[in-house]
Amino acid sequence: MDSSLAPFFTPAGIALIGVSHDPSKLGYGMARNLIQSGYTGSVHLVNPHGGELLGHPVIKSIADVPNPVDLAVILASAGQMPGILKDCAARGVKAAIIAAGGFRETGAEGAALEQECLRIARESGMRLLGPNCIGIIDTHLPMDTTFLQPPPAPVGEIAFISHSGAICAGVVDYLRGQGIGLSGLYSLGNQVDVNETTILEPVASAPYTSVVTLYMEGVSSGRDFVETARRVSRWKPVLALKVGRFDAGRKAAASHTGALAGQEAAFDAGFQRAGVIRAGTTEEMFRWARALAWSPLPAGRNVAVLTNAGGPGVTASDALELNGLKMAVLSSTTREELSKILPAAASLRNPVDMLAQAMPEDYARCLSFLLEDPGVDSVMVITPPPPSSSAGGIAKAIIPIIQAHQKPAAVVLMGDLLVQEGVQFLRAARIPEFTFPEDAASALGVLSQRAELIPALEDEPLIPDRINPQAAAALLQGKPAGFLSQDVALDLFGSYGFNVARNDLAVDAEQAVSLAETCGYPVALKVASAEIPHKSDVGGVLLGAKNGDEVRKGYLQVVENARRAKPDANIEGVTIQRMLPAGQDVIVGTIRDPQFGPLVMFGSGGVEVEGLKDVAFALAPLTRREAVGLLEKTWAGRKLNGYRNLVAADREAVLDALVRIGQLAVDHPSILEMDVNPLRALPQGQGAYAIDIRVRIE
């Protein structure tokens, strides 16, 4: 841990500045919570009026606070903050939590005040949390610097880091009701100094924290966050709820890649590289966190379902498949053992339906056989309120069975009031329970995702061979901002080992015929204009010209079409390109995100790329696993293996192209976005060719 952050985590003494004698004021709640938390360090209450509060003297000035004091929690008006921080610095305070609002969130004047506070802190070596935050809770130290309403946060093993202070009160109360415990809560507010990246590693390092959760509205530095989170994720699960999904994004982007990429694609790619699991809702994040904190990880994705009713079993089967899991095939030994216990009408295949009369001991014995089956990686146990026993009885019977095995089990107690006894038993035993099969399947899916993430975090990016960064730099040197000419773009890709289909520029019809005869028929003609990115949309493409007459007529036709559609466009001429053999056309590209750096895109190419949106993104440079993942996430990638009458394409050549274009973007920061559309993947072993290339530089 950065030693300057230590006062936030292990303060020797805390000064609460701005306490109040009025129980309705936040300053009173702040004093009450710290004193009642059981914090064993020195507590100093500060208010100019003095007096006594909750059995502690109220000191009139921070200058008069005795040792030790290394952390200040300040609740005062924004205008007073610079003066208070100067007094804290003079007193030797090493860190401060600014709980007050009225800063950047209020406008330009507040932002200037916030920067003044940061300047004072940096000059004195003081670290700041906030402003506009509620502070820190550590349930194990213990320490509570917030003004949240009692009762206190439940003690546990899940840490919560939040950009929002307002959400914290609701989360604490929700977790308390759900039997989920917190190891700590860290409200960051405006993050003028300490941010989500700064605090992540020290929070995760706490021995009593099993899982870290984050509520994020943005990121201070995408690449720094990814580097830190990837390091943390190797040894501790990190879950994130990133809100603000529907941002307008980069509307000005000119390439296909730019049009399809957005802030959320960048966050998804960043989280993937970092090993951070992204949740869709607050409730989902904490359900997943509880499962990760309380369950062993599975060896695979095969799940057995044990139930006393057919409908919930079918529901579970659907939900498991939707979460990327598989219904386990039970061994003959397991089915034989089940047949000795269950009635003849019971289903011995997965899902195992014991029928409505199943008793607690039936659940226990059947569950034991399922957990011992080598083909079962995890189990979902389901019961509605049973007609002949109780949910509590079933929970008591299966708890020791689950605890005796190192396989995850998710227990579904369907209902509410009639299953509460079972709920309480399972929570006390730290076994995750759920109300419906869909939630349980989601949690089991995350356990499998985490198990598969761990080895992926050890992967290193691939370094392609046959690249010439110096030649590429020379090609980019001195070029004006905007799109590169096609000949420069072709040379640029050639310098990074791409197979490129030459596009030679003809400025009149006769030159077009000469170029076509040189490269060989049939040829494709494409209008050349930086202002016409989608050539086929304006009739600017002619394919398969087989002789000189067709080339002459084609040249005139595509130029006329383009001028009619885009009369103001500067048309340089027409490019002539030899037609390649048939193959599968895909798109590969990159875009430079302002936070996360270059992203690689892969997907369905051609004229419908933006309509289909069959694309996936990953952070450059790519590991092999990430490159393969881009293919597996898209229909364009999956059908490279062949589909019906579609011949299998050279998948390895496409993977190689993805790695190369990612490295090109990493090596040359002046490249803003690139498209190869299409990249034609020929049949297996015949390679892939870049046909149409667009490169925009700054």
At 260 the pLDDT is: 55
- Domain made up of 584-697: CATH architecture: 2-Layer Sandwich (3.30)
Cβ of 548: how many Cβ atoms within 10 Å?
16
pLDDT tens for each residue of 464-478:
999 999 999 999 999
At 531 the pLDDT is: 86
* Mean pLDDT value across the chain: 94
Q: Cα(441)–Cα(420) distance, rounded to whole angstroms?
A: 21
Decide: helix, strand or coil at residue 135: coil
Q: Which residues contact 403 (CB under 8 A, 6 or more apart)?
A: 429, 431
Q: Work out the average pLDDT over 156-185.
A: 96
Among residues 354, 308, 268, which one has the least CA distance to residue 633?
A: 268
Q: Cα(13)–Cα(70) distance, rounded to whole angstroms?
A: 6
Beta bridge partners of 690: 500, 679
pLDDT at 592 over 50: yes
Considering only CA atoms, give the Rg of the chain.
31
Query: What are the start-end ranges of the E strands in 441-522?
Result: 482-483, 499-500, 504-506
- List helix spans (H) across 137-183: 166-178
Q: Cα(650)–Cα(656) distance, rounded to whole angstroms?
A: 10
Q: Work out the average pLDDT over 547-560.
A: 96
CA angle 559, 673, 260 (to 5 degrees): 85
pLDDT at 253 over 60: no
At 610 the pLDDT is: 66
Among residues 383, 374, 372, 368, which one has the least CA distance to residue 426?
A: 383
At 262 the pLDDT is: 60
Side-chain-side CA neighbours of 317 within 13 Å: the count stands at 16
Percentage above 90 pLDDT, the chain? 91
Q: What is the DSSP string of 596-661?
A: TEEEEEEEE-STTHHHH--EEEEESSPPHHHHHHHHHTSHHHHGGG-BTTBPPB-HHHHHHHHHHH
pLDDT tens for each residue of 628-648:
999 999 999 999 999 888 999
Task: State yes or no: cis peptide before 296, omega within 30 of 0.
Answer: no
Class of 3-243 per CATH? alpha beta
**Residue showing tokens 């386990």:** 328
- Is the separation of the CB atoms in 643 and 584 below 8 Å? no
pTM of the model as a whole: 0.91
Q: Which residues contact 260 (CB under 8 A, 6 or more apart)?
A: 601, 603, 609, 610, 613, 615
At 318 the pLDDT is: 98
Residue 301 buriedness (CB in 10 A; 0-12 / 13-18 / 19+): buried
Q: Work out the average pLDDT over 328-354.
A: 96
Beta bridge partners of 693: 676
Cβ of 215: how many Cβ atoms within 10 Å?
22
Annotation: CATH topology of 502-578: Dna Ligase; domain 1 (3.30.1490)
At 533 the pLDDT is: 81
Q: Cα(654)–Cα(663) distance, rounded to whole angstroms?
A: 14
pLDDT at 249 over 60: no
At 88 the pLDDT is: 98
Task: State yes or no: cis peptide before 343, omega within 30 of 0.
Answer: no
Residue-range domain boundaries for the chain:
3-243, 296-456, 502-578, 584-697
Band (pLDDT 50/70/90 cuts) for residue 605 is: confident
At 254 the pLDDT is: 44
Domains 3-243 and 502-578 share a fold: no
- Is the separation of the CB atoms in 559 and 527 below 8 Å? yes
Q: Cα(514)–Cα(150) distance, rounded to whole angstroms?
A: 84
pLDDT tens for each residue of 380-427:
999 999 988 999 999 999 999 999 999 999 999 999 999 999 999 999
| 296-456 to CATH, choices 3.40.50.2300, 3.40.50.720, 3.40.50.261, 1.10.10.920 | 3.40.50.261
Percentage above 70 pLDDT, the chain? 97
pLDDT at 608 over 80: no
- Is the separation of the CB atoms in 694 and 675 below 8 Å? yes
Among residues 490, 522, 487, which one has the least CA distance to residue 506?
A: 487
One-letter amino acid for residue 543 of the chain = L
**CA dist 329 → 246, 302, 338, 441, 540 (Å):** 41, 8, 14, 17, 56
Band (pLDDT 50/70/90 cuts) for residue 251 is: very low
Q: Cα(369)–Cα(334) distance, rounded to whole angstroms?
A: 6
Residues in the chain: 698
Q: Work out the average pLDDT over 449-454.
A: 98
pLDDT at 82 over 80: yes
| 303 DSSP assignment | E
pLDDT at 256 over 90: no
Among residues 22, 45, 49, 14, which one has the least CA distance to residue 143?
A: 14
- Is the separation of the CB atoms in 495 and 466 below 8 Å? no
At 244 the pLDDT is: 83
The token pair at 657 is: 């192209």
Q: Work out the average pLDDT over 426-431.
A: 97
Decide: helix, strand or coil at residue 353: strand
Q: Work out the average pLDDT over 102-117.
A: 94
At 607 the pLDDT is: 66
One-letter amino acid for residue 599 of the chain = L
Rounded to 10 deg, the angle between the 437-456 and 310-322 helix axes is 30
Task: State yes or no: cis peptide before 522, omega within 30 of 0.
Answer: yes
Convert 476-518 into a string of H (helix), E (strand) and C (coil).
Answer: HCCCCCEECCHHHHHHHHHCCCCEECCCEEECCHHHHHHHHHH
Among residues 211, 402, 370, which one has the least CA distance to residue 291?
A: 211
- Is the separation of the CB atoms in 533 and 539 below 8 Å? no
Among residues 337, 370, 373, 374, which one has the least CA distance to residue 382?
A: 370
pLDDT at 257 over 70: no
- Residues of 624-643 as b/e, b for ≥16 C-beta within 10 angstroms? eebbebbbebbebbebbeee
| 387 DSSP assignment | S
pLDDT tens for each residue of 258-279:
455 568 899 999 999 999 999 9
Q: Work out the average pLDDT over 85-104.
A: 96
- Is the separation of the CB atoms in 310 and 353 below 8 Å? yes
Q: Cα(499)–Cα(627) distance, rounded to whole angstroms?
A: 19
